[in-house]
């Protein structure tokens, strides 16, 4: 359990909690590279590794949003996917299905984001985390689950 308290150092402010589904063969490597390059992003970003982004169930995304996460980010393999040539399209369909379910529950579809993170995409990953956090801050707590 992570408790979002308000007594953070002032310069940090309240950071949105982001769950990242990352792939253990490709995007985790890029995310690891971000860490080993000491590229900072918010410590409120946590990870669940999966085999391939096309294997993510839409209900997991809804489940995470229901458990207090402000946003879910899918770090997909894009064209680097070792399994599926059309992985991007398949993952996009999963995102579409999840966003439909989110709309039904009054959750802003912007709380789910997907991007290709390759095995050397350290800087793009860190940038995505900053941008996604900013857009979640802009959304406020209104359109959150629960």
Partner 1 sequence: MNDRRLGVYICYCGGNISDYVDCEQVREAVAGEPNVEVAKTTMFACSDATQQEIIDDIQGLDLDGIVVASCSPTLHLMTFRGVAERAGLNPYQYVQVNLREQCSWAHTDLPALASEKAVAMVRAGIAKARYTEPLQKTRIETVPRVLVVGAGITGLRAALALSDLGISVYVAEQQERAGGWVGGFGSMYPHDGQGRELIGSLLTEIERRDNITIYTSAELVEKSGNVGDFSTTLEVSGERITLNVGAIIVATGFDVYQPEAGEYGHGSADVITLPEFKQLVDEGEGPLEYRGKPVRSVAYVYCVGARCQSNGNGYCSRYCCNAAMHAALVAGRRSPGLVQYHLYRDIRTYGKFEKLFEQARREGSVFIKFTEQDPPRVERYNGGNRVTVKDVLTENRELELDTDLVVLITAMEPRINPTLSEVLKIPVGLDGFFKEIHPKLRPVETVIDGVFIAGAAQAPRNSAESAASALSAAAKSAALLKRGFVELEPLIATVDPDVCTWCDDCSTACPYEAIERTPYGDREVAIISEAVCKGCGACAPVCRVGAIDLRGSTDRQIKAMIDAMEVVHV
Question: Which residues contribute to the site for partner 1 (CB under 8 A)?
Answer: 1-6, 8-9, 12, 17, 19, 24-26, 28-44, 46-52, 54-58, 60, 63-64, 67-70, 80-81, 83-85, 87, 90, 94, 97, 118-120, 141
Q: How far is the CB of 110 from partner 1 (least distance, A)?
A: 18
- Indicate the residue among 43 and 104 with the shorter CB distance to partner 1: 43
CA distance 38 to 18: 19
- Indicate the residue among 90 and 113 with the shorter CB distance to partner 1: 90
Q: How far is the CB of 103 from partner 1 (least distance, A)?
A: 18
End-to-end CA distance of the chain: 17
Nearest-5° Cα angle at 130, 126 to 136:
140
Q: How far is the CB of 22 from partner 1 (least distance, A)?
A: 9
Kindly list the distances between the CA atom of residue 24 and the CA atoms of 47, 83, 86, 119, in Å, as whole numbers in the listed order: 11, 12, 18, 10
Q: How far is the CB of 64 from partner 1 (least distance, A)?
A: 5
- Indicate the residue among 36 and 138 with the shorter CB distance to partner 1: 36
Q: Which two tokens stand for residue 81?
A: 């996917």
Burial category of 32 from C-beta neighbours within 10 Å (exposed 0-12, middle 13-18, buried 19 and up): middle
- Indicate the residue among 64 and 113 with the shorter CB distance to partner 1: 64
CA distance 144 to 18: 12
């Amino acid at each position: 359990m992570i408790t979002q308290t308000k007594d953070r150092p002032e310069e940090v402010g309240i950071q949105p909690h982001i769950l990242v589904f990352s792939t253990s063969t490709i995007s985790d490597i890029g995310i690891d590279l971000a860490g080993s390059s000491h590229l900072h992003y918010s410590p409120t970003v946590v990870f669940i590794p999966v085999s391939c982004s096309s294997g993510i169930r839409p209900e997991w995304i809804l489940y995470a949003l229901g458990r207090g996460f402000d946003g879910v980010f899918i770090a997909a393999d894009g064209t680097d996917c070792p399994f599926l040539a059309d992985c991007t399209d398949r993952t996009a369909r999963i995102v579409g299905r999840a966003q439909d379910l989110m709309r039904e529950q009054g959750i802003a579809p912007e709380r789910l984001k997907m991007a290709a993170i390759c095995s050397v995409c350290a800087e793009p990953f860190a940038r995505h985390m900053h941008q996604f956090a900013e857009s979640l801050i802009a959304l406020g707590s209104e359109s959150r689950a629960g």
